[in-house]
Structure 1
Amino acid sequence: MANNNVYDMTKGKEFPLLMKFAYPMLIGNVFQQLYNMADSIIVGKFVGTDALAAVGASGSLHFFFFSLCMGMATGVGILISQYFGAKQEKEIRKAIANSIYLILAAGLLMSSLSVLFSRNILVALNTPDNILKDALIYMRIVCGGILAVASYNAVSAILRALGDSRTPLMFLVFASLVNILLDLLFVCVLHWGVAGAGIATVMSQALAAITCIIYAVYKNPYFKISKRDMKFEKNIILKSIKIGIPVAAQSAFISISCVVLQRVVNTFGDDVMAAYTATLRIEQLIQQPFNSLCAAVSTFSGQNIGAKKVDRVCKGFHKSVIIVIVFSFAMLVVMQFTSSGIMRLFVDKEKVIDFGSTALKITSCFYFPLGMIYVARGLLNGVGDASYAMMVGLVEVFGRVVFSTVLVSIPVIGVWGIWYTSGLTWLITGLFSFIRYKQGKWKELSLIYS
């Protein structure tokens, strides 16, 4: 079953393998963030600051409702990576077939809930009246397309688990370009406002899902699924859920913490909301190397724990930390000197630019612990450490709730407490993740041998 896009990560030098595997995901993740940023830039420039604030007000909520689907996709991917490392090809096909049931259920459930309760949640978060209508329109459109996002992420997670990080990239880049073109058409030409931006996002995500699925079915031998493989396998479903639910809970806890912080942001008015939305988009882009490295470490760890090569997992982790150190320092320098210019890509209003520029200088000081969170998460999720996923999510909720409540109430800090909250939360979560790694309990964990 040779495939030039596939890497068997149980053999070969760790650093080149991680880099070769991560860079296609980095390109893909950057393009994914670009079409998220396209909504913000085009809406901010052509519709206005209030519209940009509306898009940002619903951002954390999207992530919350996506989290269950993403968790299920991650759980399936981790299980398959361990089967791949153990060379259990029949189990791989069964796991791929059974993932269909999980993703359909999660996607339909989250899409229905998000559309039904979107207004109640936005009102509960103190969303200002002048942006509530647009925030509700954008949220309902984007959340209505959750199944498309879930489908693409599930196929991508499976392909990455099999050592193929390039195939998802091809379709994501294409879909990202389509999204930007549709943004320009719907918002700038047809003047559909935030609704146009939301429709463009959903259409591009659906395109990525459909094309990636078709390609995988025709080109990847592991996707040649028989009727026997489609049989409902309780054992496989439960193993996927065993790591999928905690990972989903981790994402949900993180999104809840972001929602709590968004509620604090909303109390400072439209300018701060717009600045927060822009800085959030910028930092999401900056985090993509960490995110790509996390996925690479997860696949690397999953395959090697499946092959019972624990020492090799440790070596991969150490190489990844070096990458984090170099990139974190580079981005710290960039943000300290170019933050104002970067903010001008999003908005023209000087007050919003000043807020965002200072905010980026604050958070860039905490990029190293942020990177450590991603690397530790990749390793611990990859080996199936479900309890870690739950605990780290709770740590983030605790950090954001406590810091956002305390810091913004201190007069000398005030509004800047919003961004110090993010930085200090990364610091304590990064420390917790490193301690979890050093404890070494993960070395005895495995989904397929438990």
Structure 2
Amino acid sequence: MARAAVLSLLAALAGVSAGTPARADLSDDAARVARMWSLSGARVARLPPIFLEHGRPRVVAVDPPAGPARVAGAAADECLTAAFLAPRTAEFTLSPEGRSGSVPALEGLIQQLRGAEPEDDRRVQSIAGVAAITRCGAEREELRRVAVEVLSTRSAFDVVVAASSGPLERVEAILPERASGPVAPRGDPGRPSEPGPLDARVERAARRARAEGAPRVAPTDMRASSIGTGQFSVKLPEGCHRLDLMAEVPSATLRRATDLDAEAREGTTGRLLDRDRSDAPDARLDFCLGEQGVVEVPFLGAAGPVKVVLSDAQWPMSAFVPGHFGARARGNLAAALRRRHAPAPRAQAIAEAIGAQGDTLVPVQIEPGRCYFAAAALARGELRALRISVELGDRAGRDDAGENGESAGVAFCSEIEESAALRVSARGGSPVWVVVVWPMD
């Protein structure tokens, strides 16, 4: 009887397990869509998975699935459907090509995605990681190639293609967990905030910088053009800088809103140092220079031909930030220290290394009971992504360079460990990076 009871319990548990739905992943969702469309009589095919990053659109070739109807000649009103499935947090758009005779070249289509909007915008916006396009009859030619552009950082895609005698069941009906309700209309945020008198804002920026330890704040001013644009050209010493750009607000009742956007570039190379395109009235730029140089600061968004002030807060660079890797690397190493609010190094680095594209392991000998700061910085080339991580016993930490950033840094402390494993991952156009580790008191 006991044996029978045990068998009954196991059978019951198996039934509960079988009745519990498994957590679906991306491939499961694509398989469910393909299965439901096949049951409706459609010819279905799944394309190889793809992976895309933001700013790198791709054109996907979509061919009707093979089958008896295709061999015998598809009906004139046959429909072709292409469904792109990504994780629910991904955002992307689909753009079918035009009809034969008006199909843009591949390069033109990608430039169209990156640049100006077309007159007849046929883009389909994803919802909960799903977007699908259906074309019937002669319009099926539009789906021969579909351009996919990721609006989020990056995403993987599963693609399901189906040919059917009529429109198929919507993907949202097959995957109800991805369905979403109506989108609320955009609200009216009201008028932009008034920044206040210029002199008071300049004084506040100087007080804030001095409170953060800046020994020197140097203001410069000019008058913007009639359309609110202009460019500063300033010679700055080595070290870290914060440039606050502030524009005067006209006294006239009817005036354009003040919303300065600006960027800082090296005068000799044109390399971007920082950019501010926020909706705030004033612009702020933070960067570090490994040597003295001229910095160009173009701006726009002033309310006409008004006074614009550039306030330069300066922080000196530690003598222990090495310069033998070049001025660019030195400035980026200082930026990593400042970005992570690390104190200025007071001793020589205990380890230095240089690397290139890919993932690199850098072992470092350390002393138990001491703390350290490791910085990775671009020295040459172009950077798309940079990450530094540290593994110390059962502990780990990491940091990524932000958008337009060229450095990252991580602090760590040893308890009893005598070695740490640094890992640097760099992606881009032939990047050459350096890593430096300083002891911290």
Q: TM-score range by the shorter chain?
A: under 0.3
The normalised TM-score by structure 2 is 0.23
The normalised TM-score by structure 1 is 0.22
- Greater relative contact order: 1 or 2 (C-alpha under 8 angstroms, separation 6 or more)? 1
Q: Which structure shows the bigger proportion of residues in helix conformation? A: 1
